[in-house]
Structure 1
Amino acid sequence: MDLKFVTCTYIGVYGHALTKGKVYQAVAEEDDRFRVIGNHGKRVWIDKYYFANGEVEVPILSSWKFDDPLDDFDLIEVTVTFSNGMKRWCLITTPERLVNHFKQLHLDPPGFNIQHLIIVRTMNNEDIGQTLKHLDEQGDIEKATLFLE
């Protein structure tokens, strides 16, 4: 096999072996998987779905910030910024804040579907940061946020 490089696009269950955005040398290849030397120094077969061919830029979550004061709303707007400068946004709330939102007397309509709503245990920066990082590493951050121009 010729020297082949692949870039990890998400880590899935391979957090012990992969880093999103890192370039790995494929030491072997089959139809549906690559054999790479993981972060732990061992050779491991991993489905091709986790990689892009070649050395490519993979946007990685670099920061996030609240766009609303925490005391003013039950659903808080958050902007997330990626390593390539791209910005996306989402709504973040807790189970308690969501219940409080539905206690409003004049809520119209009385229900909603928001795909860019992330529910966290607390509004603590660590909980939110850890949740956003997990979504990014799993390749779900784009499904959980909307593009911000």
Structure 2
Amino acid sequence: MTKSIVTCCSVGVYGHALKRGNQYIVNNESDDKYRITGNHGRLVWIAKAYFIEGNITLPYLKEWKVEDNPAELDFIEVDLMFSDGSKRWCLITTPSKLADYFEKQMDRLGFNIRHLLILKEINYEAIEKTLRYLEAQDELTDVSRALKQ
């Protein structure tokens, strides 16, 4: 009997056992879970929702860059480059910069920006950790927009 292979598309709360993009051999399965050997070397049952069936290559975030000066703007644009050649972008701000924006824009009562990330602070480490976390949760595409090339 050949065992099937699944690819992790989201780590969820299983960061100790899974890595997005890794392939795992299915040792057993139920209606809604796979039993795989996690990265920590133990057999675990994990919901099928965290996987795609087959040996799939998922694009990953290769690099990102910020060209704006965070000291000058309330919203900073971040360009994202992926392993498959695709490019996306998002905006980042902090709670205090968001409050400053509303102070300056007296006529605005609110707005909706789906590709806006609010970080505690804007520095390389905070941006990197946030982007990697969102990627591991398979949310980076949802919080960014395609960059028209």
**TM-score, scaled to structure 1:** 0.93
For the residue of structure 2 that corresponds to 1:90, the secondary structure is strand
The structural deviation recorded for 1:98 is 0.8
Deviation per residue, 1:85-136 (Å, 9 max, x gap): 21111110011111111111x5554421111100001111101110111111
- Matching residue of 1:89: 89
Deviation per residue, 1:41-95 (Å, 9 max, x gap): 0000111111111111112222211132223311011111222221111110011
**Identity %, equivalent residues:** 45
- Matching residue of 1:131: 130
Distance 2:3 2:9 in 1: 20
- Matching residue of 2:62: 62
- Matching residue of 1:141: 140
One-letter code aligned to 1:64? W
* Structure 2: gaps (5+ residues): none
- Matching residue of 1:100: 100
* Structure 1: gaps (5+ residues): none
Deviates more, 1:79-88 or 1:91-100: 79-88
CA contact (8 A) 2:65 2:79 kept: yes
- Matching residue of 1:121: 120
Matched, 1:42 2:42: yes
Structure 1 runs of 4+ with >6 Å offset: none
The structural deviation recorded for 1:29 is 1.5
Distance 1:137 1:107 in 2: 38
For the residue of structure 2 that corresponds to 1:78, the secondary structure is strand
Paired positions, count: 148
Distance 1:41 1:119 in 2: 36
Distance 1:3 1:143 in 2: 32
One-letter code aligned to 2:143? A
CA contact (8 A) 2:5 2:24 kept: yes
- Matching residue of 2:11: 11
CA contact (8 A) 2:102 2:108 kept: no
Distance 1:101 1:131 in 2: 22
